[in-house]
Structure 1
Amino acid sequence: MMIRHVLLIAAGSAVLAACSSPQGNLPPIQKMEQTVYRLGAGDEVRISVFGLDALTNTYVVGDAGTISLPLVDEIPARGKTTQELEALIANNLRQRDVIKDPSVSAQVLKYRPFFILGEVQRPGQYAYVPGMSVLTAVSIAGGYTFRADSKSASITRNEGDKIIKGQATPQTPVMPGDTVFVPEDWF
């Protein structure tokens, strides 16, 4: 009788631990095999227009995904490469007869931040570092807590119009704007 109670409690605990896992049955996060960076809200971009110093400045992509330039108005930047942004600005300047043959350059100065939550020493928002992994993100956040499951994490990522969520390992690349979650290790 006593053994049966112990077995029932052990089985119940295992079921509850599995149910409470924030990872659940998430698929692995898709690797982003991007060779070019796509802009998003929070990115800081240096725009230079040769011969038009009034436009040469540093701009931040707003929450709406646009950059507001004097003489040009709102330029959609979210999801665009810097080359696509250069072409949009040049076309806009040409159409408005501001400059006949504009030469525009755009360069990302500061990437949008990433976020890390869960079992890390200092959860929060941090500056993105190109080439970073989940392990790098954890290091930036002060390392794992003693309760952390150091072998797994989940990433929530904005990919254009959709939000994806998946499992990650310490070596999984982190992208600007990602939210990394480090779960508690139950056993």
Structure 2
Amino acid sequence: MKRRLKALTILTGMLVLLGVGTAAQQLPAIPQSPLPGDASATDPWTSGRYRLTPSDVLELTFPHVPEFNQTITVQPDGYVTLQNVGDIRVQGRTLPQLQQALYDAYEPILRQPVFTIVLKEFDKPFFIVAGEVRTPGKYELRGALTVTQALAVAGGFTGQAKHSQVILFRRFTDEMLEVKEINVKAMYAHRDLQEDHILRPGDTILVPKNLLSRIAPFIPTPGLGLYLNPFN
């Protein structure tokens, strides 16, 4: 009897130890970080939505009070005139932001207003590439496009470009402009595209001149010729 009790005690202890060991191996899962360039991340440089601009046309539909249905146009100063409300500024807002603004505007008139917004006409998304690229200009933004891809669309760098100091300008509102410096030369050298941001409508890329290009106009031509071909 004592032997059986001792064996049972040993077996119970082994099971307890085995259970503890198994539990110790069940480590919590490590959350995964978003991939570089993932547009679903919260990075404001990649999570862009279309923002209203002058001449955009929107259709508002109130299913329960159709007399409030209306079509509005964003005026050159960024305002729209709403029926029974008046003027509110909408330029620079996304559609979800506009939805909330209109809800707040109509809440005093219509209790818990229900309505839909349809963007009927809008300015085609675009981006601008300026400075030392072969074909600077304004281009239509179709789908997801990164900075390096936009530079390729603009013909690539000229021989006078400063690859290490490409500037990306992004306007959020009339009062808020964000500027980011991107070292494209380092991205190519290290094969690291983490800084290759996805463009948003209205972005401007500026490629400055390199140092030699800036000082070249002040170097006398004969002297420059000596440096380029000293044995001539």
In which range does the TM-score fall when normalised by the shorter chain? 0.5 to 0.7
Give ranges in structure 1 of 5+ residues lacking alignment.
1-30
Q: Structure 2 vs 1, CA of residues 128 and 83 (structure 1 numbering), >3 Å: closer, same or farther?
A: same
Residue range with higher mean Cα deviation, 137-146 or 116-125: 137-146
Structure having greater relative contact order (Cα 8 Å, sep ≥ 6): 1
Mapped contact 1:150–1:182 kept (Cα < 8 A): yes
Shift of residue 117, structure 1, vs aligned partner: 1.0
Q: Does 2:189 align with 1:174?
A: no
Aligned residue in 2 for 1:124 = 137
The structure that is helix-richer by fraction is 2
Aligned residue in 1 for 2:114 = 102
Shift of residue 167, structure 1, vs aligned partner: 0.9
Whole-Å Cα distance in 2 between the matches of residues 44 and 150 of structure 1? 36
C-alpha RMSD over aligned residues: 3.8
Aligned residue in 2 for 1:113 = 126
Q: How does 1:81-100 map to 2 (within 5 A)?
A: 81-93=94-106, 95-96=108-109
Give ranges in structure 2 of 5+ residues lacking alignment.
1-42, 185-195, 213-232
Mapped contact 2:62–2:69 kept (Cα < 8 A): no
Whole-Å Cα distance in 2 between the matches of residues 43 and 131 of structure 1? 24
Whole-Å Cα distance in 1 between the matches of residues 97 and 207 of structure 2? 36
The structure that is strand-richer by fraction is 1
Whole-Å Cα distance in 1 between the matches of residues 164 and 55 of structure 2? 30
**Identity score, percent:** 21
Whole-Å Cα distance in 1 between the matches of residues 207 and 162 of structure 2? 7
Normalised TM-score (structure 1): 0.58
Aligned residue in 1 for 2:179 = 165
Considering only CA atoms, is the larger Rg found in Structure 1 or Structure 2?
2
Q: What is the identity, as a one-letter code, of the residue corresponding to 1:145?
A: T
Aligned residue in 1 for 2:166 = 153
Deviations 1:157-183 (A, max 9, x none): 224433332312452333223221012
Whole-Å Cα distance in 2 between the matches of residues 34 and 102 of structure 1? 31
Aligned residue in 2 for 1:75 = 88
Shift of residue 110, structure 1, vs aligned partner: 4.4
Deviations 1:104-126 (A, max 9, x none): 22459546533221012332333
Normalised TM-score (structure 2): 0.49
Aligned residue in 2 for 1:19 = none
Whole-Å Cα distance in 2 between the matches of residues 138 and 92 of structure 1? 43
